[in-house]
Chains A and B, each alone.
Chain A
């Protein structure tokens, strides 16, 4: 590739004075260039990450320095049914929302890839839910799912489907459906537009050749589109799973974990325990418990990226 020639172009500076070396040596120069980014990432990302794990082993509270209590927080959580409920909710939320986001997103991407009038405008409009801050659209959903004045209840009542208003956010099952729906609504544009970008790299001649060979539309999709899209699907879905798993704002704006903790995710529970109740140690334990899941997601992404290289015809370095 293009950038391999740069090392050769760089003259040897090893004989220079220490100051010139600091200014010109590639490694030192690289170091100086990295300083601002690294400072941010170390002080506000790596350090807090470690601190969070440490906090989860202490009984720190807001305004009081904690002591090391070993795994007491975790033992406490182990017997805490609300914590397990939140784990269940998080897994359910992540699994259902991601699967549907993927299915609908892929479908939408395939639809948008067709030739039709106003294509560019349609694509731009589809992305709007992703642009608008989650909390603000969550508030719109809160209003749409209002127990008394919900427009959905009203419409269904007038269509004669139901007799009385559905208590969308007050009933445990409905509340779960509603937050999952809102999450899908927000996530589909991202999945669709990124997959669409992937679709457009697929050469049309492949479809032509396959169609000449008598492939059906489904076979076209199954044996051309899907294999060529797998790498980008792997990456998109990793992000999607990751951000669904650690979702906070949507839940917080719509239900705050209610009714009876039915929509509490691990992130919202840790906020409630750590910041509202002041039990920083316990909250940190809940958020640290998310790390294994995140690692799993990262592994998937890594292997997805690995596979991408050879599929695009690049060398395996």
Chain B
């Protein structure tokens, strides 16, 4: 799947090139006329992309607007500002727990992701390569686990977390997030492991390597793209998770970014919008930056999990 952007279908060129001598079916005439292409392709595409990206523009703009411009839509053009301010970010970083929350989110996301990747590598390898009795059944069950949404689990999990004395501790999230991540990443890694030639493993087995050595020295190095995909996707899922964090955490300083912004920044203050949007932007940026570096892995994770 890493060849996603390059493997485009150049049918259009082929068709338009041969068009003069061929029939006049709609497909071809459509492809030739530039104005029609603008109307049927570029215009709708532009509209959709603008709608998809506008909220981020608005978020970014709001977070740098001075307060007086924020609420006065008549004297200032609301779509632009000539005197940006970093007041809201300053307030965020130095007058709130925001750095704390960012750190919590990062900490929980990394721990939960690492835990789940380790567990899923082992599980996926066992299902695909060891093929123990009932491996297919277990694979199916793990897929089913993927379909169990957090919204029906958070109530019983809250009682479990409370019983184990994990309430209001990051550990509660680190232990519960893997239930969302393991099914997904196991399924993804199963797909990757299947593509590794089994002859390599056979050779290693004949040379006397144990299963463990095979996994560490042969399979994992070959599955690195898959591991990166799984890691990034899991990390994003953790960062995005809301309902468990909302239910299991209580004290202000322990919260994760999404929960904290919704609960702590939403006060009666009419000027809250600047800092609210600054918080939302700062909470999204780490993911967007990560995404920018690993677009292809990200896409392959998303489509791989669906296609497997």
Contacts and interface: CB of A to CB of B under 8 A. Distances in A.
Chains A and B come from one and the same complex = yes
Interface of A: 1-3, 5-7, 9-10, 26-27, 29-31, 33-38, 40-41, 43-49, 51-52, 55, 60, 104, 107-108, 111-116, 119-120, 122-137, 139-141, 143-144, 146, 149, 151, 154, 185, 188-190, 193-194, 196-198, 200, 202, 204, 207-208, 211-212, 214-217, 220, 232, 235-236, 238-239, 242-243, 245-249, 252-253, 266-267, 270-271, 274-275, 280, 283-284, 287-288, 290-291, 294, 297-298, 301
Contacts of B86: none
Contacts of A130: 302
Contact of A36 (B123, B133, B153, B197): B123
Given A45-B179, A52-B152, A197-B307, 12 more contacts: A2-B194, A30-B132, A40-B115, A40-B175, A41-B179, A52-B155, A140-B58, A143-B273, A143-B277, A193-B299, A197-B1, A242-B147
The 8 closest A-B pairs by CB, nearest first: A30-B132, A33-B126, A120-B5, A37-B123, A246-B149, A267-B151, A36-B119, A197-B303
Interface stretch (B92-100, B222-230, B282-290): B282-290
Given A44-B175, A133-B258, A246-B152, A104 B58 contact: no
B243 A284 contact: no
A31 B132 contact: yes
A284 B144 CA distance: 21
Contact of B306 (A139, A188, A235): A235
A110 to B, nearest CB: 9
Interface residues of B, number: 118
Contacts of B62: 143
- By CB atoms of chain A within 10 A, which of B128, B152, B160, B205 has the most? B152
A180 B304 CA distance: 27
Instruction: Provide the main secondary structure of the chain A interface.
Output: helix
B155 A287 contact: yes
A126 B152 contact: no
Contact of A132 (B242, B246, B276, B288): B288
Contact of B152 (A6, A27, A41, A49): A49
A124 B295 contact: yes
Contacts of B156: 47-49, 51-52, 55, 284
